[in-house]
């Protein structure tokens, strides 16, 4: 646990908590103990919070519905995803051009609703790789064909594993390693934590709160805490998901505060 006075001083400067979801607020379909009480404390002390996730296997609407079922108040259901960050940037970089999506049907529908257009052929102007839990072998091969042809390669996030109640399953980062082994291409641009795209999306969605008054709270050193250290946010690690205390010393990105879970912060807010 951090020194209480130091923790209070750091937390006093935080106006907005950017909360990772799986492994931080809940695990699978189960709330982590005290998560709802943390949101109550955030509101009671005049702060705000937004949920932020790299997981691009679901739409923001699906995440919002999950939060609703868990009892999260409506004001906190404006979920920011790596898919949102990708859509905002692609519309700017490739206006009117169709691309190929390696992603679930729900993500495709959401991105189409934001103005992206897709093609299944070799005429794609860009490729966006997301966490595709319905990925088929032919579609994976098509991605590699497009990349060998030199099509710009974009990815929603770099996470290697995704936590579940039964353990970890391969996430997009593992698939990116497979693609690199096959065709020698790494993404030209990644949007999710710890990269800048999702940080810019947060700035657009949080009413002008400066990065220095935001805290990134999550369970992963190489995404959540790296986001904070690289972009000027307060980095708060919770040990309720992937990272263990013994992992911290070896990380190049160090958290400013470490807590067992979100609710451990409540007495210090």
> How far, in Å, CA of 66 to CA of 64, rounded?
5
Quote the pTM value: 0.88
- End residue of a domain, out of 140, 161, 190: 190
pLDDT digits (tens, 9 = 90+) for 1-45: 558 999 999 999 999 999 999 899 998 889 999 999 999 999 999
Q: Are residues 162 and 218 in the same domain?
A: no
- For each of the chain's 269 residues, which pLDDT tens digit applies? 558 999 999 999 999 999 999 899 998 889 999 999 999 999 999 999 999 999 888 889 999 999 999 999 999 999 999 999 999 999 999 999 999 999 999 899 999 999 999 999 999 999 999 999 999 999 999 999 999 999 999 999 998 888 777 878 899 999 999 999 999 999 999 999 999 999 999 999 988 899 999 999 999 999 999 999 999 999 999 999 989 999 999 999 999 999 999 999 999 99
Domain assignment of residue 71, yes or no: no
Q: Are residues 208 and 197 in the same domain?
A: yes
- End residue of a domain, out of 145, 171, 190: 190
Q: Residue 19, CB half-sphere, CA atoms under 13 Å: how many?
A: 29
Structural domain count of the chain: 2
CATH at 24? 3.40.50.1000
The residues, any chain, with a CB within 8 Å of residue 73's CB and separated by 6 or more, are 39
Which residue range is the domain that position 228 belongs to? Answer: 4-54+193-268
């Amino acid at each position: 646990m951090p020194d209480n006075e130091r923790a209070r001083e750091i937390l006093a400067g935080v106006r907005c908590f950017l909360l990772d979801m799986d492994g931080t607020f809940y695990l699978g379909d189960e709330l982590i103990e005290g998560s709802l009480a943390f949101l109550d404390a955030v509101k009671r002390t005049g702060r705000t919070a937004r949920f932020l996730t790299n997981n691009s296997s679901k739409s923001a609407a699906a995440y919002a519905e999950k939060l609703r079922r868990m009892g999260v108040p409506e004001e906190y259901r404006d979920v920011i995803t790596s898919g949102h960050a990708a859509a905002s940037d692609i519309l700017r970089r490739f206006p009117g051009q169709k691309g190929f999506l390696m992603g679930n049907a729900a993500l495709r529908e959401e991105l189409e609703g934001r103005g992206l257009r897709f093609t299944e052929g070799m005429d794609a102007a860009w490729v966006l790789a997301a966490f595709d839990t319905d990925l088929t072998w032919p579609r994976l091969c098509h991605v590699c064909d497009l990349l060998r042809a030199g099509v710009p390669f974009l990815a929603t996030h770099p996470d290697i594993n995704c936590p579940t109640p039964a353990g970890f399953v391969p996430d997009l980062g593992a698939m990116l390693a497979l693609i690199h082994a096959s065709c020698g291409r790494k993404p030209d641009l990644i949007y999710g934590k710890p990269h800048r795209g999702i940080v810019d999306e947060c700035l657009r969605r949080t009413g002008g709160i400066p990065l220095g008054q935001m805290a990134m709270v999550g369970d992963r050193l190489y995404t959540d805490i790296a986001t904070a250290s690289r972009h000027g946010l307060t980095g708060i690690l919770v040990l309720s998901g992937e990272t263990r205390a013994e992992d911290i010393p070896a990380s190049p990105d160090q958290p400013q505060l470490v807590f067992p879970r979100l609710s451990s912060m409540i007495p210090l807010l």
